[in-house]
Amino acid sequence: MRIREAIEEQGMTTKQVAEKLNVTLSALNQSISGNPSVKVITNIANAIGIPVWQLFASPSEVQKETDGGYKCPNCGYPLKIKVE
């Protein structure tokens, strides 16, 4: 997981997040370093204002949405497929 990275990307520190969650910095660090529960992960994501999935993958790692079309693997030109 990329909790610490996500916190930094939001311009926050773990201390600020701990304060928002009303937990000690030590408790937050222990959760981040260990195996945090879904509830803890959700609370951290909410505290830093991002969707939960961004704690697992950065936006650049996720394929961008497309218009639903396909592209030629050789030239990258969009392919139009008509289904009859």
Per-residue model confidence as pLDDT tens digits over 13-71 = 999 999 999 999 999 999 999 999 999 999 999 999 999 998 998 777 765 555 566 77
Considering only residues 32 and 79, tell me which one the structure prediction assigns the higher pLDDT. Answer: 32
**CA angle 14-17-18, nearest 5°?**
85
β-pairing, 70-71 vs 78-79, is antiparallel
pLDDT at 7 over 90: yes
pLDDT at 62: 64
Q: Which amino acid is at 76?
A: G
Report residue 76's pLDDT band, with 50, 70 and 90 as the boundaries: confident
Domain-wise residue ranges, the chain: 3-79
Looking at domain 3-79, does it have CATH number 1.10.10.10?
no
